Amino acid sequence: MVSPYPWDVPGGVVAHIRDLAETLQDLGHEVSVMTPVDDDEAPLPAYVVRAGRSIPVPYNGSVARLTFGPVSATRMLRWLRAGQFDVLHVHQPETLSLSLLAVMCADGPIVSTSHAHNTRSRILSLFQTPLQTQLEKVQARIAVSPAARRTIVEHLGHDAVLVPNGVHVHRFALAQPLPGWPGEGGAAGFIGRIDEPRKGLATLLDAFAQLAVARPDLRLLVAGPGDPPALPRSLRDRVVFLGLVSDEDKARFYRSVDVFVAPNTGGESFGIVLLEALAAGTPIVASDLDAFRQVLDDGRAGVLFPAGDPDALVTALGSLLDAPGERERLVDAGRRTVRRYDWSVVAREVVRVYETVIVSGTSVGVDEATVELWASQSASSS
């Protein structure tokens, strides 16, 4: 597999690749992952191979850290030649990233997974023709959501098999709450990049300030990287910022709140945080984004409110905090919903896609025509 983003920078795509790789190993497969790594001293699993460092690039309302250059190309070619892989699985190759570089370098059975939903991607539009030529080498495509699939269909004219993100259900279901949480007065929770506007923390803080007036013991637990925003004095002791949390503490976070809130305003192709909350048995209030609606079974497994509307969030969150019976119903519905997303199920679906492209006696190799082209261009430029 190839990761487009650095292994040592937290993110949903990297977590997906890690969990898929380790689940495939549990199923008896041999896996190697080539990935950017920004910290030369970062400890890595034995199956991870360094491709070099990344550079930050604004993308899809966030900042993607990408790796694309001659050093990485040399390492990629060496890795492909030595690996003799049955299949090459690249993630998010539609960006100028290590994954696209892998497609350019490789020949043979190639599978891609698209994670992003971006209806106005300048990169995809600008490079549609050259990307199209390279991505024709991909023999099977996976999209983690209908939104991600639409992006590929609309920008590149390809179709994809829907295989969702996965979650280790048992890890979240068995976690214990953090000490002192959720407490008698109730607690809501948020997890995400604090300084990324589309994650919607500002909407939640606005709603929480309104709820806090009539609920003097209500608290808000916030997890994720970024500098905490300035708060009114009246809320400083009632909003707790955990910062970036480990996987173990993330599971405990979900178990520490009465309601998990996903107030995202857009740009989401799936909603892995919703799966994690469902697995933990935590009721959810979420923005009515298409991706969130899909995960929450059109509102049957969680409460939806209009994205970016703090007043609507006040109503939805307040009503759910006051209705323990409804919270219990949502927990039961969530447990039924999340079973389909357990990694033990999702990884087998990925393997079935692999089986459609693997040819007996044929392994992934190097695209010698591309290598010769690069060599000739390098010689002419020198």
Q: Where are the domains of the chain?
A: 12-166+343-374, 169-340
Q: What is the pTM of this model?
A: 0.86
Largest CA distance in the chain: 73
As a whole number, mean pLDDT of residues 348-361 equals: 93
Q: How far apart are CA 46 and CA 62, in angstroms?
A: 30
Options 3.30.70.260, 3.40.50.2000, 3.60.20.30, 3.40.50.620; CATH for 12-166+343-374 is 3.40.50.2000
239-280: per-residue pLDDT in tens? Answer: 999 999 999 999 999 999 999 999 999 988 788 999 999 999
Asked whether the CA dihedral 353, 145, 282, 10 is positive or negative, the reply is positive
In the chain, the amino acid numbered 228 is P
Q: How far is CA 186 from CA 49, 71, 100, 325, 335, in A?
A: 45, 53, 47, 15, 22
What pLDDT score does 355 carry? 96
User: Using CB atoms within 10 A of its CB, is residue 288 exposed (0-12), middle (13-18) or buried (19+)?
Assistant: middle
The answer to whether the CB of 32 falls within 8 A of the CB of 79 is: yes
As a whole number, mean pLDDT of residues 23-32 equals: 98
Chain mean pLDDT for the chain: 90
Overall fold of domain 169-340: Rossmann fold (3.40.50)
Share of the chain above pLDDT 70, in %: 90
